[in-house]
Amino acid sequence: MNVKIAPSLLSADFSMLADELRAVESGADLLHLDVMDGHFVPNITIGPMIVKACRAHSRLRFDCHLMISNPQQYIAAFLEAGANMISVHFEAEAHLQRALQLIRDGGALAGVAINPATPAESLTTALEFCDYVLVMTVNPGFGGQTFLEPVVPKIRQISRMITDRGLAVEIEVDGGVDARTAPLVVGAGATILVAGSAVFGKNDRSAAMQSIRSAVTGLRA
């Protein structure tokens, strides 16, 4: 499967979002949008209004990462705003299968996100209900944090669980991904790479995405 590059808007210049969207339009496979509520994570970012405003300036598929408490309550709003993929945190949702079904019923792909300390076994009864797993390689809340390498074996473990069950679930990795760490996660089974500071922190966004892509080319069939 081809590896997809998903630049995270969190590290973009929020005073010129339309320009930032244009800068990644041709080199990215998806656009990753980080939604934070100041409750589940210690930071506040964007909501459905900004997602909708961005929608008018991009043809990329929108991958909304909900780092919010009670995410189920907001799924309809993000679907309406134009999200194509929505992930909810395992740690934040008491009725996980119901939330995932709501996302799928709305025509988007449903993801389960897990924090670095959350074990792979948490996904035992969730894998059949989702389209992708978002494995955090930093504790969520901020861009530019250091990649937590001890999480890599967990990616491999989840990949094995998916293969053993013959499922078509993809693994997305988020946090500290750059040209150095991307080969580690792709080697462990990830096919979607989120990169915030490694793309929007560079002057040439296209070259930054290309260098991550080159670093993983040929690693997977």
CA dihedral defined by 185, 191, 196, 200, rounded to 10 degrees? 120
* 204 annotated active-site: no
Give me the least distance between CB of 34 and Zn ion, in Å please.
4
When asked if residue 88 is in the footprint of ligand DX5 (CB under 6 A), the reply is: no
Q: Out of 29, 131, 174, 178, which one is annotated catalytic?
A: 174
| Footprint (CB under 6 A) of ligand DX5, residues 47-76 | 65
Residue 220: half-sphere exposure toward Cβ, Cα within 13 Å = 17
When asked if residue 174 is in the footprint of Zn ion (CB under 5 A), the reply is: yes
Q: Residues 110, 100: contact at Cβ < 8 Å?
A: yes
Nearer to ligand DX5, 145 or 206 (CB): 145
Of the candidates 100, 109, 97, which has an alpha carbon nearest to the alpha carbon of residue 192? Answer: 109
Instruction: List helix spans (H) across the chain.
Output: 17-24, 48-55, 75-81, 96-105, 152-164, 182-187, 197-200, 205-216
Give me the least distance between CB of 131 and ligand DX5, in Å please.
18
Chosen residue from 12, 138, 152, 182 binding ligand DX5 by CB under 6 A: 138
- Residue closest to Zn ion (Cβ): 65
Chosen residue from 65, 154, 205, 213 binding Zn ion by CB under 5 A: 65
Q: Facing residues of 62 across strands?
A: 31
When asked if residue 141 is in the footprint of ligand DX5 (CB under 6 A), the reply is: yes
Query: Would strands 192-195 and 4-7 be described as parallel, antiparallel, or unpaired?
Result: parallel
Residues that bind ligand DX5 (CB under 6 A): 8, 10-11, 32, 34, 65, 138, 140-145, 174-177, 194-198
